Chains A and B, each alone.
Chain A
Amino acid sequence: MPNLTMVEALNLALGQSMEADDRVCVMGEDVGVNGGVFRVTKGLLDRFGPDRVLDTPLAENAIIGTAVGMAVYGLKPVAEIQFSGFTMQAFDQIEQNMARFRNRSRDRYPISMVMRAPYGGGIRAVEHHSESREAYWAHTPGLKVVIPSGPRNARALLAASIADPDPVIFYEPKAVYRAFREEVSDESEVMEIGKAEVVRRGTDLTLIGYGAMMRPVLDAADDLVEEHGIDVEVIDLLSIKPMDTETLVGSVAKTGRCVIVHEGPRMCGIAAEIIARLNEHAFEYLLAPIKRVTGFDIHFPYFQVERHYLPDSDSIVVAVKETMEWT
């Protein structure tokens, strides 16, 4: 099994999906000759040619709109938006067409396509390059929203997203792109969209995160177990929409306590939705209020201070200890 970065694992998934299904095509700004600004699509133009790897003009709304049209025609486009901050340009086509075409046409035109975009902070970037706006898409009926946390699940989930019969927003934590390597199966490992993964078993508290936040979450978990004797159970959400309520409820029913971590702003964020579901389905098991460690309801700060803004393992440890001590 090769030891890959997330960028290499995503490239592997794209190449494998394009080999397996000649309807799969890749499109976006600089994805062809340049291989993408993060090199996720490197080498695909040479392997599959310009009919299947389309360097597009610089217009995010038309990238998504034309991808929807290609999906109508029976192709399976994987459209890259260079940074998730630029997906706002495409909000029109995502909301009006990508998400709705199946329903508007009563199943005549299912839209099997993926919009990939790097998201999140931590790479010392200029404005509009660090946001986490997955909650926007979670609010839109018809979409699925998937966020991997490492090379292995990135490969498996991107392959699943391309194969999925419905439109998928696939947000890639760019802080993880080259942060570490992981063994990634050559075989097509199948991961199901809509399933969370319990990545550490524990009994005292359920700690939920996703994407780039899984690193501080897991660091905090190690610290809590080793230094504070708190046996946390850690869940990697992986699929924002649909959300795996069953796994979340099953864990909290066991632990009775929960802390949720994400980079995006707090108000109407993913943690708010998780808390609502736990309130509906696990209220009787709760021993303490559920805490959120999230981005604040302010604009993402300039990069000299982003390390203070982003949730880190220390702030997660503090939140877990407060939740454990609550009476």
Chain B
Amino acid sequence: MSPRSANSTTTTAAAPVGRPPVHVDGCTAETINLGSVDVIRVLDENGKVVDASQDPKLSDSELLRIYRGMIRSRGFDQRMLAMQRQGEMGTFAPGLGQEATQIGQVYPMTGRDWFSPSYRSIGAQVWRGWTMEQLLLLWAGFFEGFAIPEGVNELPFSIVIGSHVPVATGVAMGIKTRKEDAVVVTNFGDGASSQGAVAEAFNFAAVYKAPIVFIVESNGWAISTPIEKQAGNSVLAARGVGFGMPAVRVDGNDVLGMIVACTRAIDHARSGHGPFLVEAVTYRMSLHTTADDPKVYRKDEEVKSWEAKCPILRFEAYLKGKKLLDDATIAQINEEIEQDVIAARDRFRELAVAKPGEIFDFVYDTLPADLHEQKAEYLARLKRKGVE
């Protein structure tokens, strides 16, 4: 079984050969229930339906909305990379190649649901209601960028890998305690799966039956560490079994497969059955961050092999087959979105004014007395520099 493709995987108990059945506290090797991990893919790499029984049967307008979301995700990502290379943007984590994983996981969510993203999630964040100029402010180092838009139920991402996952789980525990109708969706990478905080969060969620969906975007690389060196069993969906939660392994470059998997996971969590683990098998086509050079640690041929699995080309082929797109409409949509992105960049440039005077203002509800003195010292420093 190749860990880098979404082949079938099951986890039924292995029968011992040539040994008498041994009971331990009522269990034998045959009766231990290890559950199973389903594998989902709707579209193959050429955009052909491989499993019609799983087709989510979305309307034409919804299919086109999803397509536009993926194009926006890529167009925005590429514009940010260009801006970073020109010195206009700080270090950030490009999401090239993960557009289906991103849009597919947020598509089934409602506005009441909570999203707790990792930092490689700008495509999903724009889908959920962030403006692009706000995200540009954030990644260009302006503190206003961190203000989550009004009405968007989202947690701030955390730079320390995986450390947001226990917090997301706590939100789900709060929802459960208050018996409210909402679920949490949180995403993280294959590298994060090695963190104790993530394992602890899985366990808490399973014990409390918290309404949360864990999406591990298994994109093959944690900076220079490949999945094979990250995990003894690189089928990360298998971890659901050990924690007592159902799991699926889905082709993360198939947006319809992602929507099917995440809809199932969210429905499960929403109906009070507890957490669900979705392993989305995808590939980090670009850099870990803009400070990274993947040529040091991975071969071009590997990247090339994934170009053929591009989530956007695949979905385009499917939509062309359904006569929803042709070359002219594809070009037109790309051009419209490019203009949207440029307009957002222009708005960002107008908003991009640092406010050095406010750095003390969000640390506490009320600034403690002993911090007034430090703030005064800092403001005097700004005054000497002629800065407001």
Contact = CB atoms under 8 A, between A and B. Distances in A.
B144 A62 contact: no
Contacts of B208: 54
Per DSSP, chain B at the interface is: helix
B116 to A, nearest CB: 9
A72 B363 contact: no
A106 B362 contact: yes
A110 interface: yes
A164 B365 CA distance: 9
B178 A106 contact: no
Interface in B190-209: 196-197, 200-201, 203-204, 207-208
Interface string A94-135: 001100011111111110000000000000000000000000
Contacts of A250: none
B365 A59 contact: no
A106 B147 contact: yes
Q: Which of A57, A65, A102, A165 has the most CB of B within 10 A?
A: A65
Given A57-B203, A102-B364, A242-B370, A72 B197 contact: no
A11 to B, nearest CB: 22
Contact of B166 (A65, A102, A103, A109): A65
A245 interface: yes
Interface residues of B, number: 41
Interface stretch (B79-87, B168-176, B248-256, B324-332): B168-176
Interface in B135-181: 143-144, 146-148, 155-156, 158, 160, 163-175, 177-178
A166 B148 contact: no
Interface size on A, as a range, is: 35 or more
Nearest to B365: A165
Contacts of A51: 177
Nearest to B198: A62
B369 interface: yes
Contact of A66 (B158, B170, B362): B170
A101 B366 CA distance: 15
Contacts of B196: 61
A101 B168 contact: no
B33 to A, nearest CB: 21
A57 B170 contact: no
A69 B178 contact: no
A70 B200 contact: no
B232 interface: no
Contact of A110 (B158, B163, B171, B365): B365
B172 A141 contact: no
B246 to A, nearest CB: 20
Interface in B13-44: none
Given A73-B178, A93-B197, A96-B163, A68 B170 contact: yes
Contacts of A67: 170
A106 to B, nearest CB: 5
B197 A106 contact: no
B386 interface: no
Given A61-B197, A92-B197, A142-B363, A68 B167 contact: yes
A137 B203 CA distance: 27
A166 B365 contact: yes
A141 B367 CA distance: 11
Given A61-B196, A102-B364, A108 B148 contact: yes
A194 interface: yes
Interface in A79-96: 92-93, 96
Contacts of A165: 365-366
Contact of B369 (A107, A141, A246): A246
* Residue among A54, A62, A64, A104 with most chain B CB within 10 A: A62
A96 to B, nearest CB: 5
B174 A75 contact: yes
A2 interface: no
A12 B160 CA distance: 38
Contact of A93 (B166, B207, B365, B371): B166
Nearest to A104: B156
B140 to A, nearest CB: 16
Contact of A57 (B172, B207, B364): B207
B129 to A, nearest CB: 14
A97 B158 contact: yes
Interface string A231-246: 0000000000111111
Q: Which A-B residue pairs are the 7 nearest by beta carbons? A: A69-B170, A65-B166, A73-B174, A242-B368, A66-B170, A62-B200, A165-B365
24 contacts: A57-B200, A57-B207, A59-B203, A59-B204, A61-B197, A62-B169, A62-B200, A66-B204, A67-B170, A69-B168, A69-B170, A69-B173, A70-B170, A70-B174, A70-B177, A73-B170, A92-B160, A93-B167, A103-B362, A107-B362, A108-B147, A166-B365, A241-B368, A243-B370
Given A57-B207, A102-B365, A105-B147, 12 more contacts: A51-B177, A52-B177, A57-B200, A59-B204, A61-B196, A65-B169, A67-B170, A69-B172, A70-B173, A73-B175, A93-B163, A109-B156
